[in-house]
Amino acid sequence: MPRKEKLFVGINKDLEEITVPIPDADPKPWDGKDELKYIGKKVPRIDGTYKTTGRAKYTFDIKVPGMIYGKIIRSPYPAAMVTKIDSSQAEKLPGVRSIIRVKDELPFPVRFAGQEVVALAADTEHLAQEAADLVKIEYDQKPFVVDLDEAMKENAPLVFDPKDEEKDKVKNVRDARIYPKDGKSEEIDAVLNSSDHKIEATYRTQVQTHCPMETHGVVAKWNDEKLTIWASTQGTFMVRNQVADHFNIPKSDIRVITKFMGGGFGSKLKADTYTMLAVKLAREAKKPVRLMLSRKEDHLSTGNRPNSLQTVTVGATKEGKITGIKLKSFGTAGIGRGAGTGGPARFIYDAEKIYTEESDVYTNAGPSAPFRAPGHPQGAFAFEQTIDDMAYKIGMDPLEFRIKNSESDKVRQAEYKIGAEKFGWLKRNPKPGAEKGVIKTGAGLANSLWYYIYSPGSHVSLRVNDDGSVQLRSGVQDIGGGIVTPMAMIIAEELCLKPTDIKITIGDTEFGLAPTSGGSQTTAGLTPAVRNAAYSAKQRLLKIAAGLMEVDMKEVKLSDGGTFSTIDSKKQMIWKEVTAEIPEGQFSVTGERMEDYYETKRWKISGVQFAEVKVDTETGSIKVKRMVAIHDCGRPMDRLTIESQINGGIIQGISFAFYENRILDRNTGVMVNPNLEQYKIAGARDVPPIESHIIDLNLGQSSTGAIGVGEPATIPTAAAIANAVYHAIGVRIREMPMTPSVVLKALNKV
Amino acid sequence: MHRAPTHNALCAFSPIPILQFGQININPYFPVRSMKQVISMSTKISFVLDGKIASIDFNREKRYTPTTTVLNYLRSLPNHKGTKEGCAEGDCGACTVVLGELGHDRKIHYKAVDSCLVFLPMLHGKQLITIENLKSPDDTLHPVQQAMVDTHGSQCGFCTPGVVMSLFALYKSAIKPTRLNIEEALSGNLCRCTGYVPIIEAAEKACVKKKKDHFSGNEKTVSKLLQKIKRNSLSLKTGNQNYFCPKSVNESLQLRKKYPNTLIICGATDIALRVTKNYEKLPEIIDLSFISALQGISHKKNSTEIMAGTTLSEIKRYANNRFLALHKMLTVFGSDQIRNLATIGGNIATASPIGDIAPLLMAYHAKIVLVSKKKKRRLAIEDFITGYRKTACRKNELISAVIIPHPKKDTQIKFYKFSKRKDLDISTVSGGFYLELAKENKVKSIKLAFGGMALFTRRAYKTEKFLEGFEWSFKKVEQAGTILEKEFRPISDARAGAEGRILAAQNLLLKFWSETRVD
C-alpha cells in the first residue's frame, strides 16, 4: 500500500504543499525544502582523470586477440542499380578473410552516394583498403535528385521506385503530417486574415551532420553462438535488440559493451547497417572484426539534421495577443524520414488556433538521424523570428509580447524575469538598426521547448561489501553528459558518503536495463532507480546497525561520514563497523524506475536564451558578444554537468547558425565537404561569455525529481542570435548558415 | 580525385626541382658538403619516447614505412592509445602530441603538432611527448590535467587528450597567456560537447601561474639523450618507398638528379593528406626540413629576410610588433599545430588561388629569392606567381628566401580575410592592401591584392590605377568598386557565389578606406 507524503513543490522558493502517494519501499521524493549536501551542487565529473590521462578506452581503442579490420565499399553514385559485383581479385589477396554483399541478389538499388554495397575484412587496415580497391562493382546509373526544391517538382526523378515500394514512397513529397489545434486549415486562414496584424515569412535551414569526435564504429566478436559487440553507441540495449532481431538470435546471447563513447548527439542510437555488416563479417571470417568508419563515411551515412523550407504565418490583435499560428514545412531527410519542424510553433504560446502541416521530401541523400532536439532548432529559427517580427510590427517589445502570450507557462514566466534582469534587456534601444556606424550591436531572445521524456523499467543493482565498499552497476552508456557523476552523488547523498567513495560500472548490457541517451531522458529515467536502490541499501544497513546496537531500527539514523547512531546519539558506529557485519560478506539490492508518482501536468521543458551580437555591415561577419541562458530541468542534480550541457548546446547552436552546412553537388549528387576542413564546426574562438541560470523546479514526481536538459539547451540559440542580428541591422536573415555572404546579400537588398 | 588545398598551408616544394649539384658552391646560403656525408646517410631514425631513445631502422622494420604517420605509429604501440584520431587531416586536433626540440639555446622547445600530419622521419632527433607522459613519476596529474579535471573540461572526452596536449604546449611556452593566447593555443582543437568554456577556464587556471613541472626537472637528462642522436642525413628505404632527409641543398641536388620525379616537402601539412586520406604511396620524397641553412629570419638594414624553410610559427613570433599585418594574418592562419609544421616556402610554392600569404606579401612589396647553381635572382611576388598553381621557378632553381622590405613611414598595410570561421578556415576572399598617401590626401601609391577572386592571387591593377593620384575619399573608393567588379571574374563555389565574392571584395576595400582615412 502506498503511503501519503506531503511535498513542497514549485519554482525556486515559490512552493506549495501537495500530497502524493509513494510506494512503501521508496524514499520520500526530494522536494523544494530539502537542502542536500551534493545534489544541486557543483561536483566535477568523477571520471575526469580517466579522460585527461588518456586512460579512457573507447571503441576506437578496443583491440582483441585475432582481431581483423572491416571496410565498407560504398556507392559513388546517388542513384543506381548495382548490376555486377566481382570480388575475385580481392579474394585472392592473402589476408582477406571475408567479403560480403549488402544484398545477396543482384541487381539491387542504391539511393544515395555513400550507401553500403560490399563489406570485407582483412588482417590489416591497409590490406582491407587494398582489397576494396580490387572489388569491381558495376552500376547502372539512374536519374537522381539531391535538392529539396528540385525534388518537389512534378517531373523530378523519383527517389523510390513506385513499382517496388510501399504505398507512401510512391512520390517524393510524402503526405503531410497535420496537427490542428481547434480548427482546420481554412478556419485558421480565416482567423489569420481577419486579425489586426498578420505576418507571413519563409525560412530556409541547412543540413547539419552530427560530427561526433569519435566516428561511428564497432568491434564484433563471436564466441560459438554468443556475440559480444563493443559499440560506440548511445543505446547499448537498442543495439542489442536490433542485432538480435536482425540475426534472429536470443537477446540473452548478445552482450553490448560501451565503457566510454566519443559523442553521438542522436546519430548513435541505432545499430545501423555498419554494425550488422561487422557482425556478419565476424561470423564469416570466424574472427573478431573492428569496423570504424572514417570521417567521410560518418558525414555520408550516419545521419544528419534535415534541412527545411518553412512558411510561418502568425496573426495578432493590436493589443498584442496571438490569434493564430500556422506553419507549413518541407524538409528532406534524404531517403529517411523525420524532417518536421513544428514543435515550437505548436507548443510555446497560448494561441487558441494553431495549425501545422509538415511534409518529408525524399531526396537521393543519406538518411537523417535524430539530432539533438530533432526539428526544434530549425523550427525555432523560423518561428521565433516570425514572433519577433510580429512584436515589432505591433510596436511591442519582443520580450513583452512573449510574456503576454505564454502566461499559462509559469516556469517560462520565471525564466523571462531572470533572463531580462541578468541580460539587462531594458537597457537596449527599442528601435532596430538604430545604431550608427559600420559595426552595429543588437540584442535578441528566443524560446526553447522540449518534452519531459522517460521510460519506466530501468533498474540498477547496488552492492555493499563487508569492507565498506559500495558498487553500482547499470547497463547505461555515458554519451558524454556524465551520468555517472549524478549517480555517484545520489548514492553518496543517501548513504552519507562521498561521491568518490562509490564505484560505478556502466556500459554493459549484462547489467540492468537503462535508457538510451536520446530525448534527454537518461537523468530523468535512471536517477530515480539509483536513489531507490541506495534507499533500499540504507534500510538494510540501518537494520544491521540496529541489531548491533540492540535498539529498534526506527531508533537508528545514518548521518554524515557514514556514521550510524541512535537518535539520542548515545550509541555510535562508523560505516565500516556496520558493513563488516553484513551476513555472507555482501548484499545487493536493485532499484527500479517506476512510473511517476503522480501526473504533474508539466509535460514540457521550457527555456529561454538572450543573445547580444556585433555585426560588421561591411564584411557581413557576426560576432556573438554574450549569451544568457535560463533553463529548467526539474530538480537539478549536478550543476556542473547541467552548465556543461548548456555551454555545449549553445556552441552547437552557434555552429549551426554560422558554419555547418552539408553541401551536395547538384550535378553529381556527391557531398562536396565530407570532412572537418570544409565542413566547419565552431572552435574555441567562437565562444562568447555564456551566463547560465538554472531554475530549481521541484515537482516530486519521482524520487529524484530530475528532468533532462541536453536537448533544450541547443534549441533557441540560432533563433536568439538571428533576432539579435535583426535588432542590430534592421534586416531579417531568413536562411542559415548566416555566413558573411548571406548577411551581405541581405544588407544589399535594402 | 581533386583535393582542395588544406589550411592554405601547402607545404610541399613540389613541383620545383632543386639546384644541380656543383663542384664549387657559389651560393652563400648553402655551405659545401662533401660526398662522404651523402654516403654516410643513415637508414635509421631515433627520437626520445618515454624517457628513452627509440629507434626505427627502416631496413629492418616491416611494420612501418617512412610515410607512416606518428599517429598510426603511436596507435600501434600497446601503451599510447590515448592519442586519438578524429579526422586524419589536421582539423580536429584529437591527435595532438608535443614535440620537444633542442634549440640553439640548449633548451628544449615544446611544440604542439597534429600527429596525423607528421611522417615518422620528422621525429628524428626530437622528443615525442604523448598524453601518457604527462603524469609525474609519482602519479600526480600534470597541472593542465588537474585543471581540466577541476573545471569539468571533458564531456565525451574523445578530444580531451589532444586538448590537454595543446594546453601542455601552452604551459611550456614562455608566455604568460592572455585569453587571446589561450584561444589561439586551442584553435586547432575541436570539441563537440563542452562549448570550450571549461577548457578555456582550465587553461587560465593552469597556464597563467605556472610552476615547474617534471619536464623542467628532467630537461637536462632529455637534452643529453637528444644530443646523443646523430644528426646524419637520412636515406630511408622500404619496399617501394625512398625517403631522404638531406642536411644541405647540395645533397638534395644530388638526390634530385638521381630521382628526377621525387616529391619535395618541407612541413608536409598538405602532402600528408595524400597518404592519410587518399592512401597514396608516395614513392620518392625529399624532406627539406632538416636543412638548417634554409631556416631563420634575419633583420637587414632595409629589409627582413625569411628563409624559405622557416615555420609559420617562427614567423608569427617574429612578426609580432614588427610586421603587424603579417602577424594579424598568421593568427588566423591554420592553427598552432599547423603553423608549427608549415613553412613559408612551402606555402608560396603551391601558388594556391586562395592563399592568404601571397596577397599580403604583394602588399608588402615582397621579393622571392630563387637560387640556382649559377646565380641568384629576385622576383617580385607578383612575377613569381604566374598562374593557377604555377610559379616562375625554373627547373634548376629553388626558393631560398622571402625578402620583405621594411615599410616606409606613413604607409599603411592591412590584411583582411572574408571567411566563415575566423581561424582554421580557407578564405572566401582575402585582401592584402598597401597605401601611401601624398599631400592633400591624394593617393600616391596603392596596391590591392586579392586571393579567392581569380585563378591565382592577383592585384587589381585597374582599380589601383583608378585610385592613384586622386583623393582618398569614400566617394572615390565607392566608385573604384565598379572598376573592381569589372576587373575580376570570380567563380561560384561552396564558399560563396561570384556576386558574393565581388561584393565582399568591394566591401573589404571600403573597410580599408575606413581604417586608413584621414579626417
Report the residue from A60, A260, A619 with minimal CB separation from B507: A619
A chain contacts of residue B131, beta-carbon cutoff 8 Å? 53-54
Q: What is the pLDDT of residue B25?
A: 32
What average pLDDT score do residues B142-147 get?
98
Residue A737 preceded by cis peptide, ω within 30:
yes
Please report how the helices B160-172 and B179-186 are oriented relative to each other, as an axis angle in degrees rounded to 10: 130
Cis peptide before A23, with omega less than 30 degrees from 0?
A: no
Higher pLDDT, A661 or B18: A661
Residue-wise pLDDT tens digits, A407-417: 999 999 999 99
Span B411-516 CATH architecture: 2-Layer Sandwich (3.30)
Residue to test with chain B: of A41, A53, A614, A642, most B Cβ within 10 A: A53
B81 contacts chain A (CB < 8 A): yes
What pLDDT score does B396 carry? Answer: 72
How many other C-beta atoms are found inside a 10 Å radius of the C-beta of residue A559? 11
Name residues of chain A where pLDDT drops below 50: 750
Query: Do A48-60+210-302 and A455-592 have matching folds?
Result: yes
Taking a C-beta distance cutoff of 8 angstroms, is the pair A453, A604 a contact? no
A455-592: in CATH 3.40.50.150: no
pLDDT tens per residue, range A714-729? 999 999 999 999 999 9
**CB-based contacts of A72, cutoff 8 Å, min separation 6:** A116, A118, A119, A274, A277, A291, A293, A297
B6 contact residues in A (CB cutoff 8 A): 677
| B26 vs B21: CA distance, rounded Å | 11
pLDDT of residue B23: 31
Residue range B293-405, CATH number: 3.30.465.10
Q: How far is B147 from chain A (nearest CA, A)?
A: 10
B50 CA to chain A: closest CA distance, Å? Answer: 15
Is the pLDDT assigned to residue B74 strictly greater than 50? yes
Amino acid B155: pLDDT: 97
Query: Cell 620524397 identifies what position?
Result: B285
- Please write down the HEC assignment for all residues of A550-614: CCCHHHEEEECCCEEEECCCCCEECHHHHHCCCHHHEEEEEEECCCCCCCCCCCEECEEEEEEEE
| Mean pLDDT over each residue of chain A, to the nearest integer | 96
B85 contacts on A by Cβ (under 8 Å): 60
Q: What pLDDT score was predicted for residue B350?
A: 83
Enumerate the residues of chain A whose CB falls inside 8 A of the CB of residue B158: 58, 60, 212-214, 262-263
**Contact between B102 and B108 (Cβ < 8 Å):** yes
* Positive or negative torsion for Cα A248, A249, A251, A256: negative
Decide if A213 and B156 are in contact by the 8 Å CB cutoff.
yes
Best mutation target among B83, B166, B420 (most A Cβ atoms within 10 Å) is B420
CA-closest candidate to residue A111, choices A300, A328, A372, A352: A300
Nearest residue to B74 (alpha-carbon basis) of B54, B60, B90: B54
Q: Does B136 touch chain A (CB under 8 A)?
A: no
CATH 3.30.390.50 domain range(s) in chain B: 411-516
Q: What's the pLDDT score for residue A702?
A: 97
Question: Which residue of A480, A646, A677 is in closest CB contact with B6?
Answer: A677
Residues of chain B neighbouring A683 (CB-CB closer than 8 A): 186-187, 189-190, 196, 421, 423-424
Say how far apart CA B173 and CA A605 lie, in whole Å: 46
- DSSP letter at A500? G
Nearest beta carbon to residue A687 from set B85, B132, B195: B195
Interchain proximity B156–A479, CB inside 8 Å: yes
Question: What is the DSSP secondary-structure string of A508-549?
Answer: BTTS-----S-TT-HHHHHHHHHHHHHHHHHHHHHHHHHHHH
On the CB side of A674, how many CA atoms lie within 13 Å of its CA?
22
Are B426 and A640 within 8 A, CB to CB?
no
Give the confidence band of B174 by pLDDT, cuts at 50, 70, 90.
Answer: confident
- pLDDT at position B15 is 33
pLDDT at A75: 98
The 10s digit of each residue's pLDDT in B297-349 is 999 999 999 999 999 999 999 999 999 999 999 998 999 999 999 999 988 88
Model confidence at B13: pLDDT above 50: no
Burial A432-442 (b: 16+ CB within 10 A, else e): bbebeeeebbb
Beta-strand (E) ranges in A42-130? 68-74, 80-86, 96-101, 108-110, 116-122
Lowest-confidence segment of A648-652, B186-190, B236-240 by average pLDDT: B236-240
Q: Cβ(A714)–Cβ(A39) under 8 Å?
A: no
According to the CATH classification, is domain B70-218 in 3.50.50.60?
Answer: no
- Provide, as residue numbers in chain A, all residues whose Cβ is less than 8 Å from the Cβ of B497: 741
Interface contact flag, A213 B86, Cβ < 8 Å? yes
Model-wide pTM > 0.80 = yes
Contacts of B186 in chain A (CB under 8 A): 683-684
A530 and A490 Cβ atoms separated by less than 8 Å: yes
Beta-carbon pairs below 8 A across chains A and B:
241
Is A698 within 8 Å of A705 (Cβ atoms)?
yes
Q: Between chains, do B160 and A51 touch, taking CB under 8 Å as contact?
A: yes
Å from A417 to nearest chain B CA?
A: 25
Q: Between B148, B155, B186, which is nearest A644 by CB?
A: B155
Report chain A residues whose CB lies below 8 A from the CB of B77.
none
Percent of chain B with pLDDT over 70: 92
Q: How far is B439 from chain A (nearest CA, A)?
A: 27
- Taking an 8 Å cut-off on Cβ atoms, the answer to whether A619 and B418 are in contact is yes
Instruction: pLDDT band for B424, please (50, 70, 90 cuts).
Output: low
Q: Does domain A48-60+210-302 have CATH number 3.30.365.10?
A: yes
- Is A52 within 8 Å of B154 when comparing Cβ atoms? yes
**Tell me, what's the pLDDT at B10?**
32
Chain B's closest residue to A713, CA to CA, is: B195
Would you call B305 helix, strand, or coil by DSSP?
Answer: strand
B177 touches chain A (CB under 8 A): no
Nearest CA in chain A to B500: A741
A518 C-beta neighbours (distance < 10 Å), count:
24
CB contacts of A652 in chain B (<8 Å) are: 192, 195
Residues of B in contact with A676 (CB under 8 A): 86-87, 89, 91-92, 190
Boundaries of every domain in chain A: 7-21+409-454+601-750, 48-60+210-302, 455-592
Put simply, the answer to whether B152 touches A644 (Cβ < 8 Å) is yes
Whether residues B134 and A53 touch (CB distance < 8 A) is answered with yes
CB contact under 8 A, A644 and B195: yes
> For A295, which residue in chain B has the nearest alpha carbon?
B87
Residues of B within 8 A of A686 (CB-CB) are 421-422
Q: Kindly state whether B514 is in contact with chain A, defined as any CB-CB distance less than 8 angstroms.
A: yes
Res B497: pLDDT: 80
A709 contacts A636 by C-beta, under 8 angstroms? no
State the average pLDDT over residues B342-370: 91
- Going by pLDDT thresholds of 50, 70 and 90, the confidence category of residue B29 is very low
Question: Are the Cβ atoms of B192 and A686 closer than 8 angstroms?
Answer: no
Q: Say whether A465 sits in a helix, a strand or coil.
A: strand
For range B55-61, the mean pLDDT = 92
Residues of B in contact with A371 (CB under 8 A): none
Spatial contact of B293 and B314, defined as CB atoms under 8 Å apart: no
Chain A positions touching B86 (Cβ under 8 A) are: 213-215, 295, 676
> Please, what CATH class does the domain formed by A7-21+409-454+601-750 belong to?
alpha beta
Helix (H) or strand (E) holding A468: none
